[in-house]
Amino acid sequence: EVQLVESGGGLVQPGGSLRLSCAASGFNFTPYSMNWVRQAPGKGLEWVAYIGIGSSTIYYADSVKGRFTISRDDARNSLHLQMNSLRDEDTAVYFCARDRAWAFDVWGQGTMVTVSS
Amino acid sequence: QSALTQPVSVSGSPGQSITISCTGTSSDVGAYDYVSWYQLHPGKAPRLMIYAVTDRPSGISNRFSGSKSGNTASLTITGLQPEDEADYYCSSYRNTSPLNWVFGGGTKLTVL
């Protein structure tokens, strides 16, 4: 079964850091680009970051650029999101999502990040 | 405010058809055939329903179809079923600097 499972969410104070992980299984991870997408409570979806095959290209949303870093470990079939200088507005469920034809064809169930003092 | 505009809610009775619109600009929806649609049920992983404007992934019912005209894309669901009740989001690739993807604000579909 094709599956993505996120982990690493939790409660963190403003200005703090958190590292999210996404474990992929059931498919060959290496030839796929990957993304992080988030959904704040009561809000819509927001694309956060993209990483291409072999980490060749990386893009960030303006809202997280300079604070978040996306990375991948193809040997371990995993995707990561290092989040620094966290703000209240970063509170959201974070999903990892596989890229297919400029769409997101497989999603995890998400991990909740709460930024609060 | 979301980059793409969707109606907040739509509703229909079982068996009926509904259409959800998604309006963008000439930099996203109107520029590329990279519009996709997602179904969200609370507590579950989002599900891709339509990609590349009109294509259905394997396993998605042919009751779901997509189209586009100018800067507006649409998702049509025919033969509404109770399990179709969910939130639906459109998305489009946007070739700007930085390159990114944009979403609509979401539409709550209620099956009466």
Average pLDDT over residues B79-101: 90
pLDDT band at B42 (very low <50, low <70, confident <90, very high): confident
Chain A residues with beta carbon closer than 8 angstroms to that of B56: none
Is the model's pLDDT at B61 over the cut of 70?
yes
Query: Do residues A53 and A31 make contact, with C-beta atoms less than 8 angstroms apart?
Result: yes
> For chain A, what percent of residues have pLDDT higher than 90?
98
Collect all residues from B whose CB is shorter than 8 A from any CB in A: 2, 32, 34, 36, 38, 43-48, 51-52, 55, 57, 89, 91, 93, 98-106
Q: Using one digit for the tens of pLDDT, what is the confidence trace for B5-39?
A: 999 999 999 999 999 999 999 989 999 999 999 99
Chain B's closest residue to A43, CA to CA, is B105
**With an 8 Å Cβ cutoff, are A62 and B51 in contact?**
no
**With an 8 Å Cβ cutoff, are A102 and B101 in contact?**
yes
Q: Using one digit for the tens of pLDDT, what is the confidence trace for A47-73?
A: 999 999 999 999 999 999 999 999 999
A71: burial class by Cβ within 10 Å (0-12, 13-18, 19+)? middle
Most A CBs within 10 Å: which of B101, B103, B108, as the mutation test of the A interface? B101
Smallest CA-to-CA distance from B7 within B26, B25, B20, B24 is with B20
Give the pLDDT confidence score for residue A13 in this predicted structure. 97
Task: Catalogue the long-range contacts made by A16-21 (C-beta closer than 8 Å, 24 or more residues apart).
Answer: A16/A86, A16/A115, A17/A82, A17/A83, A17/A84, A17/A85, A17/A86, A18/A83, A18/A86, A18/A113, A19/A80, A19/A81, A19/A82, A19/A83, A20/A80, A20/A81, A20/A83, A20/A94, A20/A96, A20/A111, A20/A113, A21/A78, A21/A79, A21/A80
Q: Mind telling me how many Å the CA of A46 is from chain B's nearest CA?
A: 6
Give the pLDDT confidence score for residue B97 in this predicted structure. 67
Query: Do residues A115 and A87 make contact, with C-beta atoms less than 8 angstroms apart?
Result: yes
Of A45, A47, A107, the CB nearest to B45: A107
